Amino acid sequence: MTEAQLKDLLTQMTTEEKVGQLLQLATPFFKGASDRGEITGPMENMNINEEDIKHTGSVLGASGARETINIQKTHLEENRLGIPLLFMSDIIHGFKTIFPVPLAIGCSWDIELAEKSAAVAAKEAAASGVHVTFAPMVDLSRDPRWGRVMESTGEDPHLNSQFARAFVRGFQGDLDNDAHKVASCVKHFAAYGAPEGGRDYNTVDMSEWMLRENYLPAYKAALEEGCEMVMTAFNILNGIPATGNESLMRGILREEWGFDGVLISDWGAVKELIPHGVAEDQKQAAELALKAGVDIEMMTSCYTNHVQELIEEGSLEESTLDEGVLRILQLKNKLGLFDNPHRFASEEDEKKYILSPEHRRASRELAAKSIVLLKNEDVLPLNAEKKVALVGPFASNTDILGPWSWGGSAEDTVTVETGLNQQLKDLAVAKGTDLRDGNEEDLKAALQTAEQADVVVVALGEHSDWSGEAGCLADIRLPEVQLDLLKKMKQLGKPVVAVLFNGRPLDLREVTEHADAVVEAWYPGTEGGNAVADILLGKVNPSAKLSMSMPYSVGQVPVYYNSYSTGRPKDAPDAQERYVSQYLDIPNEPLFPFGYGLSYSQFEYGELQLSADRMTKEDTLTVTVDVTNVSDIPGEEVVQLYVRDNVGQVVRPTKELKDFRKVALQPGHTETVTFQITEPQLRYYHANMEHTSDPGEFTVFVGTNSQDVKAKRFRLE
Ligand code: NOJ
């Protein structure tokens, strides 16, 4: 349809039909759905009727070619103007072929593979009838207690922005021409990743300076990449719920950034303006959200029940409604739904693409590149000839897909046991304990198994329900029974390798103390067991680096690398013993810093070279460093570039990641890694929110992680 035809369609719609476009309901509400079942209760609760369902604009959570085709067909028979439904789903880290959780993908620092993972997910989902995915989630987070850290790529605005772009490219590409793509919806706008105390849905209060510096860049990056939709956040931001926050939505998102796509509320978030205490009732909630610019209301019916009334009594302009409806029609048109309402839904293609060997390979490759080697005292890689005991609650566990993997299934998942069995000659397995509860018998069996072995691999971790939405924890240590199992294994005097499956940075002090090697596998996805085996046996040399700091203890949280220097830094040359910024009982530093991760190779960094010691705003400064693989194993290294503005008008972080390169090095080989610094990279938000640079001295750092770096200074004139 042309834009004129779309506008004409809008003029033919009744107010009721228009309001319908703003409603999103879950699959069971629709007549064509196989699981329609008993919906009278939910409909009564929402005060909606069959007529409202006929007018509905979009569906939440539908997938399966047959299902989506049925729902669409039935809907088109009943919808007076033949306006197709939009099918939206949470395709977060894979559809049926599950990839590692996004936090793990963040640790790969592999932008290309991240893009590919989203492309694979899009292909499977599109064949299954999905039009829009509620991803990427790009909420920066510094608090591992928050369950949703697993859904974000970590704590750094630059790295998160790179991944945000990659995911949008992978999911969406060029929607007009690319086959099997889905529109993407970046979320949760804004600052959902900073709830007080790490408790989900909780208060967010931060200065505009902090928001712009750290939290907004990744959303903006996704939009610059062409992301079609934005989802609001559940939290309040500086006193105003994001979902009714006009200055955030109309101000920053639409006016400042020029976003003209569809803005959707999170699940029930419009109605939640009532418990937040900013709306008296659903009518006021509808008014606040629509005025703030929220187009689609997900799963509550404040708009359906009250927008017409608000217009009739003059509290709301009809044009505000029209604006939202037009954007939704435009998106449907862009997706080609007026010409082909079923889009790529095809049972035949589902069979062809879903869990294809190619998709499984991509998942295995990315999983292996996401696994972080945290400690290795001459234990790994394992010798395939040795007798290995695999113990622990994750030894044969299929719960390694992680939260937001509803499309994945246990039957398709490769466990650690299966993966190791493919590559080891002699493997014996015993669970030892459940996740939180153990018994003497299981422990005894595990000890007996381990006693026969040369090496013990202990697979430990968190149930996937312990992270994800509403999966917050105040204690971020592994449960006592699991630590106990590890200690008992260590007491046998054999080399012990801990492999961890979890959705957040944990306090790993005891684990690192009692294991000779520690492998952070996160939730690695469908091919997880194979990827873990690839790493343990050295088929893949670990190259992942933490994209979020691993705290020393929960008492440090939030602990992040790009923090600001205090007036009393502990490491100042003239620091006093007591009156400095420190804890008396624990170090200031995390257990493992941002950017940290070991390899089976060893890399040496030469001295940093700068092309000049000063630059003007027009210059490009070239930074070079020689990186040598001094081991006899080929490996990959993520070379990281950080900058510090030594004296700013506003206090600057002690380090900020500006760039990175992943280099593959053969034994004995050296590569000269080159970075370029230009003035825009040195800009930051000043007190008046201007994004400019200050002339003066900077330090540039290059290194293997955010702490272990070489430094040089230069001046910006
Ligand atoms: C709530 C979650 O916060 C959001 O991320 C998700 O997309 C929606 N539910 C829809 O499932």
The DSSP-derived string for 95-120 is: SSSPPPPHHHHHHHT-HHHHHHHHHH
Tell me the CATH number for domain 601-716. 2.60.40.10
Cβ of 267 below 6 Å from ligand 1:
yes
Q: Which of 549, 567, 569, 568 is nearest to 559 (CA)?
A: 549
Cβ of 90 below 6 Å from ligand 1:
yes
Distance 268 CA to ligand 1 centre (A): 10
Class of the domain covering 3-349? alpha beta
For atom 3 of ligand 1, the residue with the nearest CA is 266
Residue ranges in the chain modelled with pLDDT below 50: none
Alpha-helical segments (H) within 452-582: 480-491, 509-514, 528-536
Cβ of 151 below 6 Å from ligand 1:
no
Q: Which residues contact 13 (CB under 8 A, 6 or more apart)?
A: 21, 81, 325
pLDDT at position 697, please? Answer: 98
pLDDT at position 179, please? Answer: 82
What tokens appear for 373 in the block?
Answer: 């080697």
pLDDT at position 407, please? Answer: 97
pLDDT at position 38, please? Answer: 81
Q: What is the per-residue pLDDT across 632-673, written as a single tens digit (0 to 9) for each?
A: 999 999 999 999 999 999 999 999 999 999 999 999 999 999
Report the atom number in ligand 1 closest to the C-alpha of 137: 5
For atom 1 of ligand 1, the residue with the nearest CA is 267
Angstrom distances, CA of residue 310 to CA of 50, 87, 323: 22, 28, 16
Distance 146 CA to ligand 1 centre (A): 15
Report the Cα 660 to chain-centroid distance in Å. 19
What tokens appear for 557 in the block?
Answer: 């949280």
Query: Is residue 6 packed enough to be buried (19+ CB in 10 Å), middle (13-18) or exposed (0-12)?
Result: middle
CA dist., res. 99 & res. 229, Å (int): 23
In the chain, which segments carry CATH 2.60.40.10?
601-716
Q: Please, what is the end-to-end C-alpha distance for the chain in angstroms?
A: 53
Kindly provide the b/e burial profile for residues 612-628, where b requires at least 16 CB atoms within 10 angstroms of the residue's own CB. Answer: eeebeeeeebebebebb
pLDDT at position 176, please? Answer: 74
Q: What is the 8-class DSSP label of residue 56?
A: -
Share of the chain above pLDDT 90, in %: 97
Q: Are 108 and 370 in contact (CB under 8 A)?
A: yes
Catalytic site positions: 266
Cβ of 322 below 6 Å from ligand 1:
no
Report the atom number in ligand 1 closest to the C-alpha of 234: 3
Q: Are 390 and 485 in contact (CB under 8 A)?
A: no
CA dist., res. 274 & res. 33, Å (int): 31
Return the H-helix or E-strand segment holding 422: helix 416-423
Alpha-helical segments (H) within 495-643: 509-514, 528-536
Q: What is the per-residue pLDDT across 380-417, written as a single tens digit (0 to 9) for each?
A: 999 999 999 999 999 999 999 999 999 999 999 999 99
**Parallel, antiparallel or unpaired: strands 696-703 and 297-298:** unpaired
Q: Are 56 and 24 in contact (CB under 8 A)?
A: yes
Q: Which of 348, 232, 222 is nearest to 296 (CA)?
A: 232
Distance 588 CA to ligand 1 centre (A): 35
DSSP string spanning 207-227?
-HHHIIIIISHHHHHHHHTT-
For atom 9 of ligand 1, the residue with the nearest CA is 267
pLDDT at position 420, please? Answer: 98
- Pocket test residue of 60, 91, 149, 231 for ligand 1, highest count of atoms within 8 A of CB: 231
Report the Cα 619 to chain-centroid distance in Å. 35
In the chain, which segments carry CATH 3.20.20.300?
3-349
SS3 358: helix
Report the atom number in ligand 1 closest to the C-alpha of 188: 5
SS3 58: strand
Cβ of 134 below 6 Å from ligand 1:
yes
